[in-house]
Structure formats: C-alpha cells, structure tokens
Amino acid sequence: MDPTLPFETLPDRHANFRTFLLVGSLLVGLYLTTLVNYLLFHSLAELFSIIVAGTVFMIAWNSRRYIQNPYLLFIGIAYLFIGGLDLLHTLAYKGMAVFTDYDYYANQLWIGARYMEAISLLLAFAYLKTEKPVRPYRVVTAFTAATMLLIASIFYWKVFPECFVPGEGLTPFKKISEYLICILLVVNIHLLLENRPKFDERVFHLLLWSLICTIISELAFTFYISNYGVSNLVGHYFKISSFFLIYRAIIRTGIEKPYDLIFRDLKETNQKLNQEITVRKQTEAEREALIGELQAALKEIKTLEGILPLCSFCKKIRNDAGEWEQVDVYIHKYSRADVSHSICPRCMEEHYPDLM
C-alpha cells in the first residue's frame, strides 16, 4: 500500500468496485431474462427500481436528523411515492392481467411517475436556495395527496390523457411529456451545477450522473412502438442506473458521511484535549516558575515599616537587638536602599566655613 495515499482510499475503491461489479452482474442477468420472457425482465427491472426507491426513503427518513442537505432529504421522501407509482406501473403492465379493463394504464402511470420525479427534483432546490428546513411530515402529507389525485385521475375519473395506442405507438401527449420531462431534468442539472458548493463532491457527481441517466432513459422511451421493444429495454437499464446513483448519494449523505463526521469530531476533540493538556502543563510549569521567582524576590526584599526608635540627639536607630546603629547602617540592613555620604550646604557653612 502506498503510504502517501489516504487511509480510506484503497478500501473505498475496492468497495466501489465490488458494488459496481455486483450491479453489472445483475444487469447482465436481467438481460438474459429477456431471452426467456420480456415480461419477466420488465417485472424484475421495475422491482429493482422499486426496492431501491423504498430503500432510499427508509435511509433518508431514518437519517433525517443527520442529513444537513434539505435537497437530499426532500428527494429521499419523494422517492417513496415515485416507487409506489412504479409499483402500480409494474402491476398494470400489459400481460400482468391485474387490471383487465384497460391494457395501457402502465404507460399513464409511467408518465405520472416521471413527472413527479422531475418536479420533485426541481422543488428540492427551493429548499436548498432558501435554506429552510424540510418538515418531513408535511412533505409526506403533500406527496400522499398528490399521488392519490394522480391515481384517481387514471383509474377512477379516467381523465388522464392516453399515452399509447396499439398499432400506432406513442401518443403525441406521451412524446411531448417525455421531452418536457427531459427539459425539466436539464433545468435540474443547471441548478445542480449552480449549487455545487452546497454538496459533497462525491454526492454532486452521483446526482449529476443520475440526472443524465434519467434523461437518456426518457429519450429512449420516446422512440419505442412496442412495450416489448429494444428501446424500452434500454430505457429501463438507464432508469435502474439513475435510481441506483440516487441511492448511493443518499447512502453517502445519510450513513457514510455522518459516521465520517462523528469520527472526525472525535479526532478533533482528542486533538483539542491533547492541546489543552499541553497548554495546561506549560501553564503549570510557568506558574510554578513564577511562584519560585516571587518567593525569591520576597526573600530579597527588605522593608522598613512601623515606628523607628530614633535618638533625638545623635540620630541613631535602635535595632531589634537593642543596639544603637547609625541611620545609614540601619537603612542598608533593613531595606534595599543604599546610602551615599555628602554634606548639605548648611552643614558645609557651619563646619567648613573656609571652603565656602
């Protein structure tokens, strides 16, 4: 192992390689199912996306206290309802024989789910721009209401436009909707690039490639004339890739990054404690040195205080031993001052008049 590489670099690379190897193997396995029955392929492909969407929601919901990025929390909740519509799409697919009154509910549900996905990704940027916290229960309530209205418009009121006509292929509404969804996704990419500093670098790239895969998937679904065609197969592959990349982004933000932050905080706290201990040791040593200096200074300091017994005539001072000492000698003993000897002008005139 190269000691210049970060500690986590090689393990992360190995983990990513194993993950993508597993996903690649699953995609190859899915393709092989088309050789047996395309309906089996479709069911497994959609089931994979549905499970990923449900997992994305569970991770985002249970990590909502740790996810600091409102964009990711919002879309994490949204994917529960997108996955729910995809589940109905799978059950309504032609040949499943679940809904027998109309063969092409699946196409309508697909468009409804993709509109919800593109609009949800767009609305998530509003939280990112205003930096308002996501209120999870309100978001769930809003998505529940929107999903129920969409389902009712397809199955109950039957007002949702037709998306596929047998023998003719896609309706103009379906094609225009796919292009409109692609435009919304391009706008999402533009907003993602504008807000790049607000995302972890790895999460940013995962989201970017997820949006690109979704656009390719939508374009693939504008070309097919049969629900069992090659274009349909390619579209599902890119949809799976898109969902998987969103899943990796939520995993990174909701699980891996919080643990990284926890360990980083522990490391920083440990460093701060070590620094504080070092500072305290230095301070203690400095304090002890200062006390020693003060004690030494106190020993050296000699002060004169109280009443000095001074002779009125000879001006000698009586010391503690009862002896009388000259003033200059006493001051020298009991203070830090020294005495120099000179003659004042008055004494000079009195004692040495000749010199004056």
What's the rounded Cα separation, in Å, for the pair 43 and 89? 10
**pLDDT score of 4:** 42
- In order of 23, 27, 52, 230, the CA distances from 32 in angstroms are 14, 9, 21, 13
User: Domain spans of the chain?
Assistant: 37-264, 304-356
**pLDDT score of 3:** 41
In sequence order, which residues have a C-beta less than 8 Å from that of residue 343 and are 6 or more positions away?
351, 352
Residue 264, SS3 per DSSP: helix
- In order of 37, 194, 216, 225, 264, the CA distances from 49 in angstroms are 19, 28, 16, 23, 34
Which tens digits make up the pLDDT trace of 270-328?
A: 787 888 788 887 888 888 888 888 777 666 555 555 666 777 777 777 777 778 888 77
Q: How many helices (H) and strands (E) does the chain have?
A: 11, 4
Indicate the Cα dihedral angle 143, 145, 146, 151, nearest 10°. Answer: 120
Query: Whole-model pTM above 0.75?
Result: no
**pLDDT score of 260:** 57
For 350, the token pair is 């009195």
For the domain covering 37-264, report its CATH number. 1.20.1070
Q: Collect the ranges in the chain with pLDDT lower than 70.
A: 1-16, 224-229, 253-268, 297-308, 334-337, 339-341, 355-356
Contact 76, 121 (CB under 8 A): no
For 59, the token pair is 């991770």
What's the rounded Cα separation, in Å, for the pair 302 and 323? 19
**pLDDT score of 261:** 46
Which tens digits make up the pLDDT trace of 72-82?
A: 889 999 999 99
The DSSP string of 12-28 is HHHHHHHHHHHHHHHHH
**pLDDT score of 301:** 54
